[in-house]
Amino acid sequence: MTHRIATSFAVLFIVATLHAEDGSQGWLRYAPPSPTGFPLTYEAMPAALVNLDSSVEAASAQKEMLRGVRSMLGRTLRLEATIPGNDDAWVLGTAEEIRTALPGYPAPGQADKAGPGGFTLSVVTAHGYQYWIVAGADPRGILYGAFHVLSGVARGESFGSMQGSQSPAAPVRWVNQWDNLNGTIERGYAGRSIFFDDGHVRADLTRAGEYARLLASIGVNGCTINNVNADPRLLTMIPDVARIADAFRPWGVRLSIAVAINGPQVVGGLDTYDPGDPRVAAWWRAKVDAIYAAIPDFAGFVVKADSEGQPGPSQYGRTPVDAANMLAAALQPHGGIVLYRAFVYNHHLDWNDLKADRARAAYDIFHPLDGQFAPNVIVQIKNGPIDFQVREPVSPLFAGLRETNTAVELQITQEYMGQARHLVFLPTQWKTYLDFDLRANHRSTPLKDIVDGASFHRPLGGYVGVANVGLDTNWMSHPLSMANLYGFGRLAWNPNTTAAAIAEDWTRLTFSNDPKVVATISHMLLTSWSIYEHYTGPLGLQTLTNITGPHYGPAPQSQEHNGWGQWIRADHDGVGMDRTVATGTGFLGQYPPEVAAMYTSLKTCPDDLLLFMHHVPYTYKLHSGKTVIQTIYDDHYVGAQEAAGLVAQWKTLDGLIDEQRYAKVLGLLEYQAGHAIVWRDAIDRWFKQISGIPDDQHRIGHDPDRITASRMQLDGYTPIDATIWETATDGKAYACRNRNSCTASAHLDRPAGWYSVAVQYFDYRQGVSTFTLRLNQQTIAAWAADNTLPGEAPNGDTSTRFTLDGVPLRPGDTLTIEGHPDDGEPAPIDYIELTPESARAPQKAAAH
């Protein structure tokens, strides 16, 4: 958090003049499109609307058209039962219904080319009247068409420019929610489950319906409501689950559940869950029949088995095919499908075995099974071979399954990507996966064409996004994280959409059409992944976060010396996993030959994945000409600088967007900029220590602007070890224990001038310690450590800073931090940093 002395009046004034927005509507705000910057073309819009289709989806489309047009354009459309012969009208219906009612459809030269789920927008002129047509290939298509129209209106597009046919790229466009029955969400960062509470389905499912509306607006057609680490008891709650399906149905979102393969034993009373046992298959058949009796449009099952402690077919010497096909057989008569996850690996790998490699697991297990899965099974494969890291290569399994349906699993929730506290726009990253050409059979086979079914002529397949929205009013906690949910839908609908188009459209819908707002936020979104990569784990090292803890702050050592296999094999001489066939784990041999050759050769292996593929000395020179170690150092300085730049960019929007979201995002970006410094310092210190190679710019460990607690005069504060040494200065935090308050004072000898004063401290999940900052005798700031960061000890998860700008300092001044512990949180501190604000005009800050 950053604060300024004596600016509260200005802030209050702004609050009073701007309309507040809470983010609950996501990108469906239906705000009036400002007429500045584009022509308003809706004068000619028909005043009537006819809906020819009787489906629930078309009823939603109709309601949505009325709501959107009224909200954006201030007009109330008149509903007509049939196409009026004496007035213009919007016409909603299936292409077939429209052809019957309006013989002129489609107008010459306007072929209706919409495939399943698709729509065609066009204008038909008959008896001198205009009919603005939203023709769905089916009921869902009508709904998607209506949302498309409304999105266009919100962005100031004319109906003319929207005309034409669109169809979704793939049939499966699902989100997975990792919601637990007790109401918590695994890797969810936006509050509790919208579906479950305390072991039950919530009585009030309003949010489930609102979620389905958001999903429908971006073409998502399925939602798996529970954690893939599945609780078998859900299988006993079908009547209640059916209520969620009822909330989804008007929006064309089909419900799916994740199932535990041991269900027959845990809740079914059998003494086995062996997929080869006929009693087990019969149990699943009966269960599935019961589900369809309650939920006729039930979509199917998602399965995580034999992974991270989940039960699986291996218990009985069976394979994923045995388990998947047994479930598929039960679902097949009803049209249901199984998404069987390929995230199966041994998390007790032997660190000492240089051939062991978690990245190999999915291919090693699933490739031999290619061609054996039932037609209604899809193998759901994470984009990369490890686990949603900041950068990974594409999983080679996508090219290894040519007679099997596949779907790509992308992670919308920012588990390894800053947990909705850091801005990371993921479509930029996803595009690098979707566009990556695996060169199967030496021809163009980009990932998007494989999962669409085009490359290997598969009838089923698509996109799954792990979303994890929660009860937080704005769904994903960080207002800008919603761009990731939106972007997932857009890419699942059309993977050729550019990240820039997604960023721009989302910004227009979510904030405003003001060109400055659009340009600024789009730019921030589009650069954010690269910024995050710079200050976390560059060169293919993975995120370098605490993989045995919350997956949040820096903790590179946690990757090593354990069974999880996220190793980077950093030692005194070099770093990186040798995954070559000749000398390494052989992982690269899982790729088709052209890709394997590209990664194997140091000449062609891209720098940004080098250390994922190779072990090299720290002094190895990259294509950029710089050494590996200097690149690691520099990238972290660049990244922290860029994160600070995000704050500056956002501040240029003050007054251009509502104060509520402006302030919320500003607070988050300031926190992120501070945490980027924690990341930078930790990773650079760690690599400097392990490599013994100095930074050629002498930055690491030389922070002339800092006064560490160890150099202050302490009253009550005592040193404790940071649990991850590199995340605090000299591995120590200073804690206030067994006292009500403690102080740390620094006597200053800085040149007189204006300074930004940052206090680096630790904020645990538990407890709300309070701090005051005094300049000589005067209190200049007070704040509370109330950010519930994911940790209970001083480390990179909890290290954070409070910043006060515009502080006038003179030699001889004393700055004192007074900490008051609370509930086991000992008001821990690390250092003060005094940054001269040489450019600042003195009158902008308050005198003391």
Judged by the rule CB under 6 A, the positions of this chain that interact with ligand GCW are: 178, 186-187, 227-229, 304, 343, 387-388, 415
Closest distance to ligand GCW from the beta carbon of 187 (Å): 5
Closest distance to ligand GCW from the beta carbon of 224 (Å): 12
Alpha helices in 307-351 (DSSP H): 320-331
Residues 6+ apart with CB under 8 A from 175: 215, 220, 222, 223, 224, 412, 464, 465, 466, 467, 485, 488
Residue closer to ligand GCW by CB (options 2, 419) is 419
Closest distance to ligand GCW from the beta carbon of 343 (Å): 5
Residue closer to ligand GCW by CB (options 388, 535) is 388
Name 756's bridge partners: 835
Closest distance to ligand GCW from the beta carbon of 99 (Å): 46
Residue closer to ligand GCW by CB (options 343, 831) is 343
Token reading at 580: 């070559």
Sheet holding 814-820, edge to edge: 713-715, 742-747, 814-820, 770-775, 778-784
Token reading at 150: 């409304």
Nearest residue to 308 via CA among 544, 566, 557: 566
Residue closer to ligand GCW by CB (options 180, 600) is 180
Q: Give the amino acid at 607.
A: D
Residue closer to ligand GCW by CB (options 468, 627) is 468
C-alpha–C-alpha distance, residues 116 and 25, integer Å: 28
Residues 6+ apart with CB under 8 A from 291: 238, 241, 298
Sole residue written with tokens 């940054």: 835
Of 138, 387, 726, 813, the catalytic one is 387
Token reading at 227: 């954690």
Name 781's bridge partners: 773
Closest distance to ligand GCW from the beta carbon of 256 (Å): 15
Residue closer to ligand GCW by CB (options 229, 787) is 229
C-alpha–C-alpha distance, residues 380 and 360, integer Å: 16
Residue closer to ligand GCW by CB (options 224, 800) is 224
Residue closer to ligand GCW by CB (options 255, 344) is 344
Closest distance to ligand GCW from the beta carbon of 551 (Å): 6
Give the chain's largest Cα–Cα span: 89
Q: Would you call 360 helix, strand, or coil by DSSP?
A: helix
Closest distance to ligand GCW from the beta carbon of 566 (Å): 10
Closest distance to ligand GCW from the beta carbon of 411 (Å): 7
> Which residue's Cβ lies closest to ligand GCW?
387
Is residue 415 flagged as an active site residue?
yes
Torsion of CA 183, 188, 190, 191, to 10 degrees: 20
C-alpha–C-alpha distance, residues 23 and 479, integer Å: 7
* Residue 365 backbone phi and psi in degrees, to 5: -85, -45
Structural contact between residues 544 and 532, judged by C-beta atoms closer than 8 angstroms: no
C-alpha–C-alpha distance, residues 422 and 513, integer Å: 25
Pairing of strands 742-747, 814-820: antiparallel
C-alpha–C-alpha distance, residues 434 and 436, integer Å: 6
Residue closer to ligand GCW by CB (options 53, 387) is 387
C-alpha–C-alpha distance, residues 318 and 314, integer Å: 5
Is residue 392 flagged as an active site residue?
no
Is residue 705 flagged as an active site residue?
no
Q: Is the dihedral of CA 372, 376, 377, 378 positive or negative?
A: positive
Of 271, 308, 594, 696, the catalytic one is 308
Q: What is the DSSP letter of 195?
A: S
Q: Is 786 left (phi over 0), alpha (psi -120 to 50) or beta?
A: alpha
* Residue 719 backbone phi and psi in degrees, to 5: -75, 140
Of 231, 409, 415, 659, the catalytic one is 415
Cα end-to-end distance, the chain, whole Å = 22
Q: Would you call 341 helix, strand, or coil by DSSP?
A: strand
Name 816's bridge partners: 745, 774
Residue closer to ligand GCW by CB (options 386, 758) is 386
Closest distance to ligand GCW from the beta carbon of 327 (Å): 18
Closest distance to ligand GCW from the beta carbon of 522 (Å): 29
Any idea which residues carry the catalytic annotation? 308, 387, 415
